[in-house]
Structure 1
Amino acid sequence: MKKIVLSALLAAAMLCHMSTAGAAVDYKIVTASERGTYIKIGRDLSQLIAPLADINLDAVPSAGSAENVRRLRYEPGVKLALVQSDVYQSYIDIAAGGNAAASSLIRPLRVIMPLYNEEIYFIVRADSERNFIHEIKNARINAGEAGSGTALTSATLYRLMFGEPMPDASVSFLSNEEALAKLVTDKTVDVVAVVAGQPAKLLVDMKPESRQLIKLLKFDPKHPSSEAALKTYFPANVRVSNYPNLLTADLPGLAVKAFLVTYDFQLKDTETHLRQLARSLCQNFSMLQEKGHPKWREVALALPELGRGWFYYAPTAREIRACIAGELKPRTLVKARSAKQCSQQERILGLCQ
Structure 2
Amino acid sequence: MLKKLLTGWLGLALMIVSSFASAEAAHYKIVTGPERGTYIQIGQDLSKWVAQPAGIDLEVMASKGSAENVQRMRFEPGVKLALVQSDVYQAYIDMANAGNADAGTAIRPLRLIMPLYDEEINVVVRADSPMKTFADIKDKSISVGLLGSGTAQTATTLYHLMFGQAIPEQNVQHLSNEDALAALIVKKVDVAIIVVGQPAKLFNDMNPELLQQIRPLKVDPNAPETTRAKQTYFPTTLRATSYPNWLKEDVPTLTVKAFLVTYDYGLRDTVGNLNHFADSLCANFDNLQEHGHPKWKQVKLELPPLVRGWKYYGPVEKHLRACLANKSAGISAAAAQAAQKPRSSCTDQERLLLLCK
Pick aligned residue for 1:329 from 314, 325, 336: 336
After superposition, residues 134-145 of structure 1 pair within 5 angstroms as 134-145=135-146
Which residue does 1:237 correspond to in 2? 237
In the alignment, what sits opposite 1:246? 246
* Structure 1 residue ranges, 4+ long, deviating more than 3 angstroms after superposition: 1-9
**CA-CA distance at 1:7 after TM superposition:** 3.5
1:21 corresponds in structure 2 to: 21
Q: Is the 8 A contact 2:111 2:263 kept in 1?
A: yes
Verify the 8 A CA contact 1:65 1:87 in the aligned structure 2: yes
Check whether the contact 2:234–2:254 (CA below 8 A) recurs between aligned residues: yes
Q: Deviations over 1:323-351 (max 9, x none)?
A: 00117723399xxxxxxxxxxxxxxxxxx
Per-residue Cα deviation, 1:216-250 (whole angstroms, up to 9, x for no partner): 11111211111121121111111111111111001
**Structure 2: distance between partners of 1:165 and 1:310:** 26
**One-letter amino acid of the structure 2 residue matched with residue 62 of structure 1:** S
| Shift in Å, 1:5 | 5.4
Aligned residue type for 1:137: K
C-alpha separation in 2, matches of 1:36 and 1:271: 30
SS in 1 for 2:80: strand
Counterpart for residue 315 of structure 1:
315
Q: Report SS of the residue matched to 1:50.
A: helix
Aligned twin of 2:258: 258
Instruction: Tell me if structure 2 keeps the 8 A contact 1:143–1:173.
Output: yes
Following the alignment from structure 2 to structure 1, what is the Cα–Cα distance between the partners of residues 338 and 293?
Answer: 24
Query: For 2:318 and 2:10, how far apart are their aligned partners in 1?
Result: 36
Partner of 1:342: none
Kept in 2, the 8 Å contact 1:206–1:246? The answer is no
Give 1:316 shift.
0.5
Where does 1:88-99 land on structure 2 (aligned, <5 Å)? 88-99=89-100
The Cα shift of 1:13 comes to 2.2
Deviation, structure 1 residue 320: 0.4
Q: CA–CA distance in 2 between the matches of 1:125 and 1:59?
A: 34
**Per-residue displacement from partner, 1:78-127 (whole Å, max 9, x unpaired)?**
01000000000000111111111111111111000000000110111111
Equivalent pairs counted in the alignment come to 332
Q: 1:211/1:292 Cα in 2 relative to 1: closer, same or farther (>3 Å)?
A: closer
| Structure 2 counterpart of 1:25, one-letter code | A
Cα deviation for residue 211 of structure 1 reads 4.6
Q: Secondary structure at the match of 1:325?
A: helix
Unaligned runs of 5+ in 1: 334-353
C-alpha distance in 2 between matches for 1:281 and 1:212: 40
Query: 1:299 and 2:306 equivalent?
Result: no
Higher helix proportion (structure 1 or 2): 2
SS of 1:95 mapped into structure 2: helix
- Return the letter of the residue paired with 2:174: F
Equivalent AA in structure 1 for residue 320 of structure 2: I
Equivalent residue letter for 1:17 = V
Partners of 2:9 and 2:41 lie apart in 1 by 47
Under a length normalisation based on structure 1, what TM-score does the superposition of the two structures give? 0.91
* In structure 2, distance between residues paired with 1:303 and 1:212: 41
Number of the residue aligned with 2:84: 83
Letter in 2 for 1:331: A
CA-to-partner distance for each residue in 1:283-303, whole Å, 9 max, x for gaps? 211111011111111001100
Distance in 2, Cα, partners of 1:282 & 1:109? 22
> Secondary structure of the equivalent of 2:152?
helix
Matched-pair identity in %: 55
Q: Which aligned pairs between 1:172-251 and structure 2 lie closer than 5 A? A: 172-185=173-186, 187-251=187-251
